[in-house]
Amino acid sequence: MCGNHRADGSPIDHHHEPVFRARPRSLPRRTFLGEVSRGTLALAIFTPTVLAACSSDSGESAGTTSTTTSTGAEGAGSADTGPDNTSLQWGRANLGFVSAYVLVRGTEAAIVDTGTSGSAPAIGETLADFGLGYRDVAHVFLTHHHPDHIGSIDAVLGLAESALAHAGEADLDEIARETINPLVGGEEVFGLEMLATPGHTDGHMAVIDHEAGILVAGDAILGSGGGVQGPSPDFSTDIAVANESVRQLAKLSFNTLLVGHGDPVEANADTAVSHLAASLA
């Protein structure tokens, strides 16, 4: 499981609440409380380095940029305001302490992560924000095998009958489904490059649209008060490898960062990640 950065008591950016759906009720209460208590425990033993990274990146830029740029249509962000059907748009299914994302290219969609069990309706509503439904979903990407990211995979694939599912090869045993395409990094699917980002889990994958400048990082990077922080040492398989993945991501160019936990960073996200990478041990 993963640390919940919000358990640290940092203020949640309510600017997003009217824009993105908040659906805490879809979470089993017991699961949520379990995550919070574990997240609190994890925070209590965070290294000073991580805390420093958090505080140095929880700065003003993130708070102001998210307010000024979340102007996409109907709860969705757009990297390109033009009518070009091939430009990538994104929407967030805010499931409480974790998010799933919908990526839309014209009349086709991809889903990145499926949240906890019971999240399929909320993801469906995010598709509906674009006038799309599960029938329009061509791909489902799982960033990694943790249950808050694959919890609704059966329901989602049951609804998205024509979708291909993808996940990192090294995580497939944990996901335990036979019909998932194994990824090792470097593949191009749906106009996205698959990025091997191991460390949080062995097979963790991120996806990036280079043209639109949108990186979906899963749990390779955590959101924190509108900024970013590194993956939690307590919920990562190998934190040294995970930190190296952050350094690799920091070499890329992207404007928007979509994270599994916390709010998206909607402007100059690569700068924030570069600062984070420089702060990691």
User: What is the contact surface with Zn ion in residues (CB under 5 A)?
Assistant: 2, 146, 148, 219, 260
Half-sphere exposure of 234 (CA within 13 A, CB side): 17
Here the tokens at position 117 are: 């069990």
Q: Which is nearer to Zn ion, 88 or 259 (CB)?
A: 259
d(CA 164, CA 224): 32
d(CA 57, CA 21): 25
Integer Rg of the chain from CA? 17
Phi, psi of 197 (to 5 degrees): -135, 65
**Looking at beta carbons, which residue is closest to Zn ion?**
2
Instruction: State in angstroms the smallest separation of the CB of 83 from Zn ion.
Output: 35
Q: Which is nearer to Zn ion, 8 or 219 (CB)?
A: 219
Q: Which is nearer to Zn ion, 38 or 105 (CB)?
A: 38
User: Is residue 259 a contact partner of residue 228, using CB atoms and an 8 Å limit?
Assistant: yes
Here the tokens at position 82 are: 């033009």
Q: Which is nearer to Zn ion, 72 or 203 (CB)?
A: 203
d(CA 215, CA 267): 12
Give, in order, the Cα–Cα distances in Å from 146 to each of 70, 152, 165, 185. 28, 11, 16, 19
Q: Which is nearer to Zn ion, 21 or 144 (CB)?
A: 144
Q: Which is nearer to Zn ion, 21 or 146 (CB)?
A: 146
Instruction: State in angstroms the smallest separation of the CB of 67 from Zn ion.
Output: 25
Q: Which is nearer to Zn ion, 66 or 114 (CB)?
A: 114
Q: Which is nearer to Zn ion, 151 or 260 (CB)?
A: 260
Instruction: State in angstroms the smallest separation of the CB of 168 from Zn ion.
Output: 12
Instruction: State in angstroms the smallest separation of the CB of 37 from Zn ion.
Output: 16
Instruction: State in angstroms the smallest separation of the CB of 258 from Zn ion.
Output: 13
Instruction: State in angstroms the smallest separation of the CB of 52 from Zn ion.
Output: 22
**Which residue pairs, CB below 8 angstroms and at least 24 apart, start in 18-25?**
19/70, 19/75, 20/75, 20/92, 20/94, 21/75, 21/93, 21/94, 21/122, 21/125, 21/126, 22/94, 22/96, 23/93, 23/94, 23/95, 23/96, 23/122, 24/96
d(CA 184, CA 181): 10
- Altogether, the residues listed in the chain come to a count of 281
Instruction: State in angstroms the smallest separation of the CB of 235 from Zn ion.
Output: 6
Instruction: State in angstroms the smallest separation of the CB of 136 from Zn ion.
Output: 26
Q: Which of 137, 131, 139, 133 is nearest to 121 (CA)?
A: 133
